[in-house]
Chain A
Amino acid sequence: MNPFSFLTQMIRIAVPFLFAASGGVVAERSGIVSLTLEGFMLSGAFAAVLGTNYSGSPWVGVLCGILGGLIFSLIHAVATIRYRADQVVVGVAINLLAIGVTRFFLKLFFASSSNSPRVAGFGGNIKAAGFDNPLLWLGVLVAPFVAFVIYKTPFGLRVRAAGEHPDAAESVGVSVTRVRYAAVAISGILAGLGGVYLALDQHQFTDQMTAGRGFIAISAVIFGRWDPIRAALACLLFAAAETLQIQLQGSHAIPSQFVEMIPYALTIIALAGVVGRAVPPAALGKAEA
């Protein structure tokens, strides 16, 4: 196994996780459960392909993908914040809705129930191994950026306050509602970008193409104990496992199904507190005025 090709492939696989997990950290730190990342990614991926297909420019696709993730995150925000609907139920609904909407519009725009036509993308130089894609670099930088925002800016402080002690935040004049709307919108934009990367990298949209990546991202958030950098490291770890599985294919050393389980099993172990207890933000999932 070539260590260089291993590393580059690992980073390419990690990019969608990095985007979505960074978004998940922001939303969850504000107190809103992010079981919706899968749906945001899927809508972002579809909107990106739609935009790229009709404009011919992947940059327009990126904007559309951001919009796609944003729209679904605003539905999530209105349902959970304005209407105080159960966050887990809304999460399930958003994911089902994203599958349904992308399927319906796939049929409406592309007359297919499985995939879109091929669209333009970024880069493509074989020698660059995917590193001539600006989205890849954005994905690598997003976690440090989110860490800076969360820990070093007034907005980040408000996000953390909203997630840990919303009443205290309200009492010093922070609008918890507004902070949470912003945090959920950010999670939609970032997870949407994760979907954009995925779709433009494969040059098409396929039905349910996110295939559980949003849930791996939420695993990374929990395994990284709601810290952007640790969550990013978890993304890299999960991506490394997947890379290993791909590169070992054919050797039958470990059945691929067992490698697939790694992120999920590690998350359960982390939640059970075997290696350092994972404690969520205090107000996570609590609907309050």
Chain B
Amino acid sequence: MTTATQPLAAKPTLAGTPWRERAEEALIPPFVALLVALICGDLLILSYGQSPASVYRLLLEGTWGNAYGFGQVLYKATTLAFTGLAVSFGLRAGLFNIGGESQLAAGGFAAALTGLALPVGTPLLLSLPICMIAAGVAGGIVGFVPAYLKTRFGAHEVIVTIMLNFIVLALLNWFIAGHLHVPETLHTPEIHAGVLPRLADIDPRFHGSAANLALVVAVIVAFAVWFYLFRARGGYELRAVGLQPQAAEYGGISVGRAWMRALTFSGVIAGIGGINYVLGYKHYYEDGFAGGAGFLGIAAALVGRNHPFGVLVAAFFFATLSQGGLAIHAFVPKQMMDVLQGVVILAVAMAVPEVRGILRGARRRTAA
């Protein structure tokens, strides 16, 4: 089923096509999807007897229009950036990691345990890297299992990661519900060290919003992923395997090792994402905090066309939808945004092969 992921991989050649054509193929599908989503949104708003124009204005005012709303968008975008980068990293090697949900949760859990174990007053310069490593290792372990089973036994990574989601989340639930929770709750005690400064500490206008230093970590991770994929040898191998495993193998690249790296590090990236909630927002691990962010990461990777910076933009877009739902809730139920998320993913998935076919057909005609 590796061929099934090929519509997502950017191109059949690594550098063969002019960038303008690549940009067209990459950018048109998200815009088509946005248009489709806007039309669907209109219909849903009208079904509630409201005016689309005023609801959309409200949505923008509640998200980008004030510091609190914007801060909340940035907070939500941070988690989605991590899970989106994780998914796109795997997809570059032709592998679909649907385990972002449990990798994120495992990372957050490990970060919380580490934050609890560290002595009070550990400086952030020390506690942040330690917690990040713990989170990354936990996510990496969850990512390693499908990587190993794929490489060693050929077990399909899509199914294994889905099944692992249920297994890992049940295991974490057992840890929390059975052993580690504060009585009457489903969360751990507050961490002693590793609390990240919030955006509001720098600019008081963001007061109340959860945006925090993890946002900067997410941007750094995006740059690191970009550098690795497009400037480092390992990333080149990874992309070569994603485009054509047989050819890569023939060219002397170990496909198995590239797969191992792709899925394990995909898990690491998603795992680090756990710091946003645990170190940046609540300062404890709570059962179920991932709440679908792993799956929305797939959406961010898809809409961001598997490019690290595209993923950041897409994460910002989906975070805006999610926060926008709260802003319009008095007039149209926020559940509308759940519908639109699905519509956007579906529309992009359909538009990618279609737009490519149309563009290439047109080019052939002009060339002929």
Chain A interface residues toward B at CB < 8 A = 33, 35, 75, 79, 83-90, 92-101, 103-104, 106-108, 113, 212, 215, 218-219, 222, 255, 257-258, 260-261, 264-265, 267-268, 271-273, 280, 284-287
Contacts and interface: CB of A to CB of B under 8 A. Distances in A.
Given A92-B295, A286-B4, A104 B354 contact: no
Contact of A261 (B44, B170, B177, B340): B170
A79 B348 CA distance: 10
B333 A84 contact: no
Interface in B177-212: 177-178
Contacts of A83: 349-350, 353-354
Contacts of A261: 166-167, 170-171
9 shortest interchain CB distances as A-B pairs: A97-B342, A100-B338, A285-B1, A100-B339, A93-B345, A103-B335, A85-B349, A271-B155, A264-B163
A92 B98 contact: yes
Contact of B338 (A87, A103, A271): A103
Nearest to A279: B154
A83 to B, nearest CB: 4
B149 interface: yes
Interface string B1-26: 10111011000000000000000000
B85 interface: no
A99 B338 contact: yes
B153 A272 contact: yes
Interface residues of B, number: 53
A86 B2 CA distance: 11
A93 B7 contact: no
Contacts of B96: 88
B335 A273 contact: no
Given A88-B96, A258-B174, 19 more contacts: A83-B353, A83-B354, A86-B8, A92-B345, A96-B295, A97-B339, A100-B336, A100-B338, A100-B342, A101-B339, A104-B333, A108-B47, A215-B163, A260-B170, A267-B159, A268-B164, A268-B167, A285-B1, A287-B3
A217 B173 CA distance: 22
B155 A86 contact: no
Contacts of B349: 79, 83, 85-86, 89-90, 93
B170 A267 contact: no
B34 interface: no
Interface centre among B48, B170, B350 (most CB of A within 10 A): B350
A96 to B, nearest CB: 4
Nearest to B44: A104
Contact of B166 (A89, A92, A93, A215): A215
A79 B346 contact: yes
Interface of B: 1, 3-5, 7-8, 44, 47-48, 96, 98, 149, 152-156, 158-160, 162-164, 166-167, 170-171, 173-174, 177-178, 292, 295, 298-299, 302, 333, 335-343, 345-346, 349-350, 352-354
A271 B148 CA distance: 12
8 contacts: A88-B98, A93-B349, A99-B342, A107-B335, A108-B48, A258-B170, A280-B1, A285-B3
A204 B304 CA distance: 39
Contact of B149 (A93, A272, A285, A286): A272
Contacts of A267: 159, 163
Contact of A219 (B3, B7, B153, B163): B163
Nearest to A85: B349
Contact of A268 (B149, B338, B343, B350): B149
A83 B7 CA distance: 11
Given A264-B163, A267-B163, A268-B164, A85 B350 contact: yes
Contacts of B298: 89, 92
A104 B98 contact: no
A88 B99 CA distance: 13
A90 B344 CA distance: 11
A33 to B, nearest CB: 7
A257 B174 contact: yes
A97 B4 contact: no
Contacts of B171: 257, 261
A86 B4 contact: yes
A114 B336 CA distance: 15
Nearest to B156: A271
Contacts of A89: 8, 298, 302, 345, 349
A271 B346 contact: no
A268 B342 contact: no
Contacts of B7: 84-86, 287
Contact of B335 (A75, A92, A113, A284): A113
Nearest to A212: B166
Nearest to A99: B338
A266 to B, nearest CB: 9
B160 A104 contact: no
A33 B1 contact: yes
Contact of B156 (A79, A96, A257, A280): A280
Contacts of A90: 346, 349-350
Contacts of A98: 342
B160 A257 contact: no
A257 B170 contact: yes
Contacts of B170: 257-258, 260-261
